[in-house]
Protein backbone atom coordinates (compact mmCIF):
# COMPACT_ATOMS: atom_id res chain seq x y z
CA UNK A 1 0.00 0.00 0.00
CA UNK A 2 1.69 3.17 -1.04
CA UNK A 3 -0.65 6.03 -1.71
CA UNK A 4 -1.72 6.74 1.85
CA UNK A 5 -5.28 7.88 2.11
CA UNK A 6 -5.21 8.70 5.81
CA UNK A 7 -4.98 12.43 6.32
CA UNK A 8 -2.46 11.95 9.10
CA UNK A 9 0.08 10.26 6.82
CA UNK A 10 2.07 13.48 6.52
CA UNK A 11 2.27 13.67 10.31
CA UNK A 12 3.58 10.13 10.43
CA UNK A 13 6.37 11.01 8.05
CA UNK A 14 7.09 14.15 10.06
CA UNK A 15 7.25 12.00 13.18
CA UNK A 16 9.68 9.69 11.41
CA UNK A 17 11.86 12.69 10.55
CA UNK A 18 11.73 13.99 14.10
CA UNK A 19 10.16 17.31 13.25
CA UNK A 20 7.07 17.15 15.44
CA UNK A 21 6.62 19.00 18.67
CA UNK A 22 5.93 17.04 21.87
CA UNK A 23 2.13 17.29 21.76
CA UNK A 24 1.82 16.43 18.07
CA UNK A 25 4.21 13.58 18.60
CA UNK A 26 2.12 12.11 21.38
CA UNK A 27 -1.10 12.35 19.39
CA UNK A 28 0.47 10.88 16.26
CA UNK A 29 1.94 8.01 18.24
CA UNK A 30 -1.50 7.37 19.66
CA UNK A 31 -2.98 7.48 16.16
CA UNK A 32 -0.45 4.92 14.96
CA UNK A 33 -1.84 2.37 17.39
CA UNK A 34 -5.25 2.49 15.77
CA UNK A 35 -4.53 3.22 12.09
CA UNK A 36 -3.06 0.21 10.32
CA UNK A 37 -2.35 2.21 7.20
CA UNK A 38 -0.20 4.71 9.05
CA UNK A 39 1.50 1.93 10.99
CA UNK A 40 2.40 0.34 7.67
CA UNK A 41 3.71 3.65 6.37
CA UNK A 42 5.98 4.00 9.37
CA UNK A 43 7.25 0.43 8.93
CA UNK A 44 7.90 1.11 5.25
CA UNK A 45 9.78 4.32 5.95
CA UNK A 46 11.90 2.58 8.56
CA UNK A 47 12.78 -0.42 6.45
CA UNK A 48 13.39 1.75 3.40
CA UNK A 49 15.89 3.78 5.36
CA UNK A 50 17.54 0.65 6.74
CA UNK A 51 17.84 -0.87 3.30
CA UNK A 52 19.22 2.32 1.84
CA UNK A 53 21.84 2.52 4.55
CA UNK A 54 22.81 -1.14 4.50
CA UNK A 55 23.36 -1.33 0.78
CA UNK A 56 26.01 1.34 0.92
CA UNK A 57 29.27 -0.20 -0.12
CA UNK A 58 32.23 -0.05 2.18
CA UNK A 59 35.79 0.82 1.30
CA UNK A 60 38.69 -1.30 2.50
CA UNK A 61 41.20 0.28 4.88
CA UNK A 62 43.78 -0.07 2.14
CA UNK A 63 41.70 1.85 -0.36
CA UNK A 64 40.98 4.41 2.32
CA UNK A 65 44.69 4.98 2.90
CA UNK A 66 45.34 5.15 -0.82
CA UNK A 67 42.61 7.71 -1.32
CA UNK A 68 43.86 9.70 1.64
CA UNK A 69 47.40 9.74 0.38
CA UNK A 70 46.25 10.70 -3.09
CA UNK A 71 44.31 13.60 -1.62
CA UNK A 72 47.23 14.85 0.43
CA UNK A 73 49.55 14.45 -2.50
CA UNK A 74 47.17 16.54 -4.54
CA UNK A 75 47.27 19.39 -2.02
CA UNK A 76 51.04 19.35 -2.22
CA UNK A 77 51.06 20.04 -5.93
CA UNK A 78 52.85 23.31 -6.65
CA UNK A 79 50.04 25.06 -8.52
CA UNK A 80 46.51 24.60 -9.67
CA UNK A 81 47.57 24.84 -13.29
CA UNK A 82 49.74 21.77 -12.92
CA UNK A 83 47.18 19.87 -11.00
CA UNK A 84 46.07 17.23 -13.45
CA UNK A 85 48.30 17.06 -16.43
CA UNK A 86 47.20 13.53 -17.30
CA UNK A 87 43.50 14.27 -16.95
CA UNK A 88 43.90 17.43 -19.00
CA UNK A 89 45.83 15.56 -21.63
CA UNK A 90 43.18 12.88 -21.91
CA UNK A 91 40.47 15.52 -21.95
CA UNK A 92 42.31 17.32 -24.71
CA UNK A 93 42.90 14.19 -26.72
CA UNK A 94 39.27 13.21 -26.54
CA UNK A 95 37.76 16.63 -26.97
CA UNK A 96 39.91 18.05 -29.70
CA UNK A 97 39.20 15.48 -32.45
CA UNK A 98 35.54 15.55 -31.54
CA UNK A 99 35.45 19.30 -31.74
CA UNK A 100 37.31 19.31 -35.02
CA UNK A 101 35.05 16.64 -36.39
CA UNK A 102 32.00 18.48 -35.17
CA UNK A 103 33.10 21.75 -36.70
CA UNK A 104 33.87 20.02 -39.97
CA UNK A 105 30.54 18.29 -40.16
CA UNK A 106 27.46 19.72 -38.63
CA UNK A 107 27.87 22.33 -35.97
CA UNK A 108 27.65 26.03 -36.45
CA UNK A 109 30.71 27.94 -35.24
CA UNK A 110 28.78 29.16 -32.23
CA UNK A 111 27.83 25.65 -31.21
CA UNK A 112 31.38 24.43 -31.53
CA UNK A 113 32.65 27.22 -29.33
CA UNK A 114 30.28 26.05 -26.68
CA UNK A 115 31.33 22.42 -27.02
CA UNK A 116 35.03 22.83 -27.25
CA UNK A 117 35.93 23.30 -23.62
CA UNK A 118 33.84 20.38 -22.50
CA UNK A 119 35.91 17.33 -21.70
CA UNK A 120 34.20 14.03 -20.93
CA UNK A 121 32.33 13.82 -17.69
CA UNK A 122 35.08 11.84 -16.06
CA UNK A 123 37.53 14.67 -16.25
CA UNK A 124 35.62 17.86 -16.60
CA UNK A 125 35.17 18.94 -13.03
CA UNK A 126 38.62 17.91 -11.98
CA UNK A 127 40.23 20.08 -14.59
CA UNK A 128 38.79 23.27 -13.23
CA UNK A 129 40.59 25.00 -10.46
CA UNK A 130 37.72 26.37 -8.39
CA UNK A 131 34.52 24.58 -9.29
CA UNK A 132 32.45 26.10 -6.53
CA UNK A 133 33.48 29.68 -7.03
CA UNK A 134 33.17 29.66 -10.78
CA UNK A 135 29.91 27.78 -10.94
CA UNK A 136 27.44 29.43 -13.27
CA UNK A 137 24.13 30.13 -11.67
CA UNK A 138 22.13 29.46 -14.82
CA UNK A 139 21.48 26.03 -13.45
CA UNK A 140 18.24 24.22 -14.10
CA UNK A 141 17.64 24.55 -10.41
CA UNK A 142 18.16 28.15 -9.47
CA UNK A 143 17.91 27.56 -5.78
CA UNK A 144 20.95 25.35 -5.87
CA UNK A 145 24.28 26.80 -4.94
CA UNK A 146 27.32 25.47 -3.19
CA UNK A 147 27.44 26.01 0.52
CA UNK A 148 29.29 29.22 0.99
CA UNK A 149 29.34 29.97 -2.72
CA UNK A 150 28.80 33.63 -1.96
CA UNK A 151 31.96 33.79 0.05
CA UNK A 152 34.19 31.74 -2.17
CA UNK A 153 34.66 34.23 -4.96
CA UNK A 154 37.61 35.69 -3.14
CA UNK A 155 38.76 32.34 -1.91
CA UNK A 156 42.54 32.15 -1.63
CA UNK A 157 44.41 29.71 -3.79
CA UNK A 158 45.59 26.63 -1.95
CA UNK A 159 48.85 27.31 -0.21
CA UNK A 160 51.52 25.99 -2.47
CA UNK A 161 53.30 23.40 -1.72
CA UNK A 162 51.76 22.39 1.52
CA UNK A 163 54.15 21.91 4.33
CA UNK A 164 51.69 19.64 6.06
CA UNK A 165 52.29 16.58 4.00
CA UNK A 166 55.89 16.71 5.04
CA UNK A 167 55.22 17.25 8.67
CA UNK A 168 52.71 14.63 9.45
CA UNK A 169 52.75 11.02 8.58
CA UNK A 170 49.43 10.66 6.82
CA UNK A 171 48.86 7.14 8.01
CA UNK A 172 50.48 7.28 11.40
CA UNK A 173 47.24 7.44 13.33
CA UNK A 174 45.85 4.47 11.49
CA UNK A 175 48.58 1.98 12.10
CA UNK A 176 51.29 3.51 14.24
CA UNK A 177 54.00 2.70 11.78
CA UNK A 178 57.52 2.96 13.09
CA UNK A 179 58.78 5.76 10.92
CA UNK A 180 62.32 6.95 10.82
CA UNK A 181 62.06 10.63 11.64
CA UNK A 182 64.30 13.33 10.35
CA UNK A 183 64.87 16.47 12.31
CA UNK A 184 61.57 18.35 12.18
CA UNK A 185 63.43 21.53 11.25
CA UNK A 186 63.59 20.72 7.56
CA UNK A 187 63.61 23.91 5.55
CA UNK A 188 61.02 24.78 2.93
CA UNK A 189 63.69 24.24 0.29
CA UNK A 190 64.20 20.63 1.33
CA UNK A 191 60.47 20.07 1.55
CA UNK A 192 59.80 21.07 -1.99
CA UNK A 193 62.81 19.06 -3.13
CA UNK A 194 61.18 15.98 -1.58
CA UNK A 195 58.02 16.70 -3.51
CA UNK A 196 59.96 17.07 -6.74
CA UNK A 197 61.86 13.85 -6.15
CA UNK A 198 58.75 11.93 -5.30
CA UNK A 199 56.88 13.30 -8.29
CA UNK A 200 59.73 12.27 -10.59
CA UNK A 201 59.71 8.75 -9.23
CA UNK A 202 55.95 8.56 -9.70
CA UNK A 203 56.23 9.91 -13.20
CA UNK A 204 58.75 7.23 -14.13
CA UNK A 205 56.49 4.62 -12.60
CA UNK A 206 53.41 5.79 -14.46
CA UNK A 207 55.18 5.81 -17.82
CA UNK A 208 56.30 2.23 -17.18
CA UNK A 209 59.96 2.99 -16.68
CA UNK A 210 60.27 0.65 -13.73
CA UNK A 211 64.01 0.58 -13.59
CA UNK A 212 64.33 4.38 -13.37
CA UNK A 213 61.44 4.53 -10.96
CA UNK A 214 63.06 1.99 -8.63
CA UNK A 215 66.25 4.04 -8.59
CA UNK A 216 64.40 7.28 -7.93
CA UNK A 217 62.27 5.75 -5.21
CA UNK A 218 65.31 4.28 -3.51
CA UNK A 219 67.06 7.63 -3.70
CA UNK A 220 63.95 9.31 -2.30
CA UNK A 221 63.89 6.99 0.71
CA UNK A 222 67.56 7.63 1.44
CA UNK A 223 67.46 11.38 0.84
CA UNK A 224 64.24 12.13 2.69
CA UNK A 225 64.01 9.54 5.46
CA UNK A 226 61.54 11.60 7.50
CA UNK A 227 59.10 12.24 4.71
CA UNK A 228 55.62 10.80 5.19
CA UNK A 229 55.75 9.34 1.70
CA UNK A 230 58.63 7.05 2.61
CA UNK A 231 56.22 4.24 3.37
CA UNK A 232 54.64 4.60 -0.04
CA UNK A 233 58.05 4.89 -1.68
CA UNK A 234 59.41 1.67 -0.18
CA UNK A 235 56.29 -0.19 -1.17
CA UNK A 236 56.30 1.21 -4.68
CA UNK A 237 59.96 0.40 -5.11
CA UNK A 238 59.11 -3.23 -4.41
CA UNK A 239 56.40 -3.06 -7.04
CA UNK A 240 58.66 -1.29 -9.52
CA UNK A 241 61.40 -3.89 -9.03
CA UNK A 242 58.91 -6.68 -9.43
CA UNK A 243 57.60 -5.23 -12.66
CA UNK A 244 61.15 -4.78 -13.80
CA UNK A 245 61.66 -8.53 -13.42
CA UNK A 246 64.13 -8.18 -10.53
CA UNK A 247 62.28 -10.48 -8.18
CA UNK A 248 65.08 -10.95 -5.64
CA UNK A 249 65.45 -7.22 -5.14
CA UNK A 250 61.68 -6.83 -5.16
CA UNK A 251 61.41 -9.38 -2.37
CA UNK A 252 64.07 -7.56 -0.37
CA UNK A 253 62.26 -4.25 -0.76
CA UNK A 254 58.93 -5.82 0.19
CA UNK A 255 60.50 -7.36 3.31
CA UNK A 256 62.06 -4.04 4.19
CA UNK A 257 58.59 -2.53 3.92
CA UNK A 258 57.04 -5.21 6.12
CA UNK A 259 59.70 -4.80 8.79
CA UNK A 260 59.34 -1.01 8.86
CA UNK A 261 55.56 -1.05 8.56
CA UNK A 262 54.19 -4.31 9.97
CA UNK A 263 50.75 -2.73 10.05
CA UNK A 264 51.23 -0.66 6.91
CA UNK A 265 48.49 0.02 4.43
CA UNK A 266 50.21 -2.08 1.77
CA UNK A 267 51.13 -5.04 3.93
CA UNK A 268 48.96 -7.50 2.03
CA UNK A 269 50.49 -6.65 -1.32
CA UNK A 270 53.96 -6.44 0.19
CA UNK A 271 53.57 -9.92 1.67
CA UNK A 272 52.62 -11.20 -1.74
CA UNK A 273 55.72 -9.67 -3.32
CA UNK A 274 57.90 -10.88 -0.48
CA UNK A 275 56.52 -14.35 -1.06
CA UNK A 276 55.76 -14.90 2.62
Query: According to CB under 8 A, which residues from 183 to 202 bind another protein?
Result: 184
CA–CA dist 222, 197 (Å, integer): 11
Of 124-153, binders to another protein (CB under 8 A) are: 124-126, 128, 130-133, 135, 139, 141, 143-152
Give the one residue of 34, 157, 187, 248 binding another protein; rule: CB under 8 A.
157
* Minimum CB–partner distance for residue 256 and another protein (Å): 22
Contact range with another protein by CB under 8 A, out of 23-31, 62-70, 198-206, 266-274: 62-70
Nearest by Cα to 87 from 114, 115, 131, 120? 120
| Interacting residues with another protein between 80 and 109 (CB under 8 A) | 98, 101-102, 105-107
Q: Which is nearer to another protein, 93 or 130 (CB)?
A: 130
Of 22-30, 115-123, 211-219, 246-254, the segment contacting another protein by CB under 8 A is 115-123
Residue 238: which residues within 8 A CB-CB, separation 6 or more? 250, 251, 253, 254, 256, 257, 270, 273, 274
DSSP states of 29-93 as a string? Answer: HHHHHH-HHHHHHHHHHHHHHHHHHHTS----HHHHHHHHHHHHHHHTSS-GGGS-HHHHHHHHH
Residues from 224 through 263 that contact another protein (CB under 8 A): none
Nearer to another protein by Cβ, of 135 and 269: the residue is 135
Amino acid sequence: MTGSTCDRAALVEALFDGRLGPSERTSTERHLKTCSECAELLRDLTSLQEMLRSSTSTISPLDHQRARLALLRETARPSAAKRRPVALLIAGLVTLPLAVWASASMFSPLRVREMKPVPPAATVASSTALPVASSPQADEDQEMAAPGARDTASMPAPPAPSSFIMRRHPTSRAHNAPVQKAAPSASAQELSQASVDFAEAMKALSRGDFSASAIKLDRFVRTHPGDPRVEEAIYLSAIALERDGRSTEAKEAARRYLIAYPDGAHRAQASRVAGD
